[in-house]
């Protein structure tokens, strides 16, 4: 007899979500549904009608964990809409900011999953390692982008300022010093995940991977014509789930996709492993790639070079696209500027892409592994929400502005 297992909210992730699993007599998941129950964000509406410069400042508040990707996706979308080509040094500083954020964010995720994979005798070692890595990564973000959480120096047209030569040398030395520590940390995490003994094939889905770049992002590799966005009631076959779900379902070529570190490694690095273990391994290895990127940029950066382009903020009503590879996956912002005001703004945030993929990834294994599958994707629900207006009586949808591209 089929039974329904509900985990609400799912734990040790950012934001609130629910996992509903139908299981058979053996407790094996036959149907997995995962959906956001985090309240509305609404920031796209707030930036509409305001000066373009308002958008990056406001939309970075979408999420307290991913303010860097949202800021960068926003300025990239505005740059595209306004026809701006930013200086080389500005591009390097943006890439440096995101690379450092990758290191920091992945370390945070490893802290969240530590109770799953780290034995008691190594717990202090692992947590102290996470703290040391985060401290260095955040110092890079803070110095380069102005602030560690909400980066004030990432601007439309480039970066507000270049860093000083003294700062470049100091950060270069710190990142080089961190490298052996981070390499040891990555080896520790990969080893602990292997030792956990997750069942072979856990978390594997047939969803295709989607990424635009190995680490930073490239709007040229995101085809807007291949993208569609549907309402939850068109995706979930359980009406109760569809009514409660707070996010749209983005599709690429008509299918749900997987984004994030494993997707990037698959698309650009030939990484062929799939499932829960592969997610953790790809994420850990990406920390090494990101730190190497930081070191390379800090070794090459010309601190005397300009970082701001000249541009006209009036705009031509072109739909600009910013595609940034955040730690959790591709973060796409779209902006349209005319008459000096933002006319339209929309975000396709990383976890939104993974939401329809995570539920099916729990299927075929005992429901006790369900939370492990979800956490392997490192979901962040605080940004993956949209707004609709529903009738208080029958919960029917009165106004739907989720899908407007």
Which residues define the annotated binding site for Mg(2+)? Answer: 44, 386
The residue whose two tokens read 């030939």 is 270
Report whether 83 contacts 314 (CB < 8 A).
no
3-class DSSP state of 27: coil
Residue 258, token pair as written in the block: 């997987």
d(CA 282, CA 265): 7
Reported as half-sphere exposure (CB side, CA atoms, 13 A), residue 249 has a value of: 20
Q: From the annotation, which residues make up the binding site? A: 44, 63, 66, 380, 383, 386
d(CA 67, CA 54): 15
DSSP for residue 366: B
Burial of residue 225 (CB within 10 Å: 0-12, 13-18, 19+) is: exposed
Residue 166, token pair as written in the block: 């003294």
Listed residue (387, 238, 316, 283) closest to 80, CA to CA: 316
Phi, psi of 164, deg, nearest 5? -75, 160
Angle at 214 between CA 44 and CA 307, to 5 degrees: 65
Report whether 366 contacts 29 (CB < 8 A).
yes
Q: From the annotation, which residues make up the binding site for Fe cation? A: 66, 383
Beta-strand ranges (E) seen in 216-303 are 227-230, 249-252
Q: From the annotation, which residues make up the binding site for Ni(2+)? A: 63, 66, 380
d(CA 74, CA 322): 6
């Amino acid at each position: 007899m089929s039974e329904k297992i509900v985990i609400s909210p799912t734990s040790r992730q950012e934001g609130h979500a629910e996992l509903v699993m139908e299981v058979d007599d053996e407790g094996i998941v036959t149907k997995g549904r995962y959906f956001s129950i985090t309240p509305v964000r609404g920031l796209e509406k707030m930036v509409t009608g305001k000066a373009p410069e308002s958008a990056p400042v406001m939309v970075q508040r979408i999420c307290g964990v991913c303010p860097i990707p949202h800021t960068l996706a926003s300025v990239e979308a505005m740059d595209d809409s306004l026809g701006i080509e930013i200086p080389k040094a500005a591009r390097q500083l943006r890439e440096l900011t995101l690379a450092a954020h990758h290191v920091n964010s992945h370390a945070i995720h490893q802290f969240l999953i530590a109770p799953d994979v780290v034995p008691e005798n190594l717990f202090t070692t692992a947590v102290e390692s996470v703290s040391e890595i985060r401290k260095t990564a955040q110092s890079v973000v803070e110095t380069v982008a102005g602030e560690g959480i909400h980066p004030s120096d990432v601007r439309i047209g480039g970066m507000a300022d270049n860093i000083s030569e003294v700062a470049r040398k100091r950060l270069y030395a710190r990142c080089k010093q961190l490298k052996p520590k981070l390499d040891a940390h990555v080896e520790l995490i990969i080893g602990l995940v292997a030792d956990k003994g997750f069942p072979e094939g856990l978390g594997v889905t047939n969803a295709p991977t989607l990424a635009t770049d190995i680490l930073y992002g490239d709007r040229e590799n995101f085809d807007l014509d291949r993208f569609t966005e549907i309402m939850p009631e068109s995706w979930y076959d359980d009406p109760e789930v569809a009514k409660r779900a707070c996010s749209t379902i983005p599709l690429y070529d008509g299918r749900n996709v997987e984004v994030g570190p494993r997707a990037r490694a698959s698309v650009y690095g030939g990484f062929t492993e799939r499932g829960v273990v592969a997610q953790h391994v790809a994420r850990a290895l990406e920390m090494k790639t990101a730190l190497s990127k930081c070191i390379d940029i800090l070794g090459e950066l010309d601190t005397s070079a300009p970082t701001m382009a000249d541009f006209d903020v009036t705009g031509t009503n072109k739909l600009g696209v910013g595609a940034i590879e955040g730690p959790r996956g591709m973060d796409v912002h779209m902006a349209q500027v005319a008459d000096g005001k933002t006319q339209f703004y929309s975000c396709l945030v990383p976890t939104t892409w993974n939401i329809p993929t995570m539920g099916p990834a729990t299927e075929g294994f005992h429901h006790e592994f369900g939370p492990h599958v979800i956490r392997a994707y490192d979901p962040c629900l605080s940004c993956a929400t949209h707004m609709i207006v529903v009738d208080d009586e029958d919960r029917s949808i009165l106004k739907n502005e989720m899908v407007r591209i």
